Amino acid sequence: MTLLCLGNIMPVLVTGASGFIGAHVVLELLSRGMKVRAMVRDEGLSVMFPESELLEIVKADLFDVDSLKNAVEGCDDVIHCAAALHIGAKNVEAEVVDPSIIGVENLCSVMGDVKRIIHTSSVAAIRSSKFENGKIFTNSDWCEDATADYNAYGFAKAGAEKIMRSWAEGRDLRLVTIHPSIVFGPILHSRHTNGSMSYLKHFVKGPPFVLDIHINFVDVRDVAKAHVNALDMGKDRERYIIHKKGMWMKEIGAELNSKLPKKYATRKLPRLFAYILAVFHPKISVKRLKGTLGTYVDYDVGGAFEALSLPNYSVEDTLVDSVNSIQAQD
């Protein structure tokens, strides 16, 4: 099966184009000679993209239906990457839930003529909030027990996906959802360290210890290719988990130490001190830590990497390229 490449007459709309995943999706499309309409809220962030005759920047907001109509007009293909950052959100309803739920409702209302939709979901829409330690989740699982008060991100992601799938039912279009685990990889702008990459930013700029946290991650370059390839590869209406590996934070530090000259944290902070830290930390809560410290899950990706013909970046390349890109911002 050949990869989607040259020759699209109409541009592919990428929502959330200035985000970590969205920006890499834009670059992936451009690398194939495809026309791209990059939807952003702040046009100043377009500096992260190369100048190209194939690239059009459009300012729009998921809460502004008229701006969405303008963004979607003339596009057969939509890659919906726009999502709210959930780490450290102070008002989860306004900052996490509404952009996902209301945002996807508004987007669906203007996509009547769209033929192919790739929706960025997350393993958060798959993993339940409460789980047996060591549980392996598959793409048939749904996060059904999340609420806006507990696991708002899972609640928002699962809810948005259900809205999109319900809207698409019975329509003559292609819909594929991509479910990445935590996304690492080279950042394209300093703002990209505020989300999932904050875990690796900890090793570069944080204290000399790590929490007893298990992180499931994947390379953003695999995730970007998954979105683009899913336009014409894989099964319609499928949910693809894009996940590489799970590692404890101390293992990530050790891996970085084995590949880079600088020494990175590997000493695990005792549980009691972790809870004390959470009391004063703006982005960590004691409630969240209690369900996270010392626990882990995994994901069965099935044949996702083969179905979407992904390069499958190595753990070494992902971690090293991530850290090097963060340090390059200094």
Treating both helix axes as pointing N-terminal to C-terminal, what angle do 249-259 and 198-205 enclose, rounded to 10 degrees?
Answer: 60
Q: What is the pLDDT of residue 277?
A: 87
Q: Kindly write down the DSSP assignment for every residue of 76-142, as one continuous string.
A: SEEEE------TT-SSHIIIIIHHHHHHHHHHHTT-TT--EEEEE--GGGTS-SS--TT-EE-TT--
Instruction: List Cβ neighbours of 58 (8 Å cut-off, separation of 6 or more).
Output: 37, 38, 39, 40, 70, 71
Q: What is the pLDDT of residue 176?
A: 98
Q: How far is CA 185 from CA 133, 182, 219, in A?
A: 27, 10, 5
Domain that holds residue 88: 12-325
Assess if residue 239 is contained within a domain: yes
Q: What is the pLDDT of residue 284?
A: 76
Q: Which residues pair with 117 in a beta bridge?
A: 78, 175
Q: What is the pTM of this model?
A: 0.94
Q: What is the pLDDT of residue 86?
A: 62
Amino acid at the residue 70: N
Assess if residue 6 is contained within a domain: no
Assigned token pair, 192: 């990209």
Assess if residue 7 is contained within a domain: no
Q: What is the pLDDT of residue 127?
A: 97
Assess if residue 321 is contained within a domain: yes
Assess if residue 188 is contained within a domain: yes
CATH number for the domain harbouring residue 239: 3.40.50.720
Q: What is the pLDDT of residue 2?
A: 40
Assess if residue 26 is contained within a domain: yes
Sheet of 182-184, strands arranged across: 182-184, 214-219, 245-248
Assess if residue 1 is contained within a domain: no
From first to last of its 330 residues, the chain has per-residue pLDDT tens of: 344 555 578 999 999 999 999 999 999 999 999 999 999 999 999 999 999 999 999 999 999 999 999 999 999 999 999 987 666 666 778 778 999 999 999 999 999 999 999 999 999 999 999 999 999 999 999 999 999 888 899 999 999 999 999 999 999 999 999 999 999 999 999 999 988 999 999 999 999 999 999 999 999 999 999 999 999 999 999 999 999 999 999 999 999 999 999 999 999 999 999 999 888 876 777 877 888 899 999 999 999 999 999 999 999 999 999 999 999 987
Assess if residue 314 is contained within a domain: yes
Assigned token pair, 321: 């390229």
Look-up of token digits 């319609």: 236
Provide the sign of the torsion angle of the four alpha carbons 301, 85, 131, 255, taken in this order: positive
Give the chain's domain count.
1
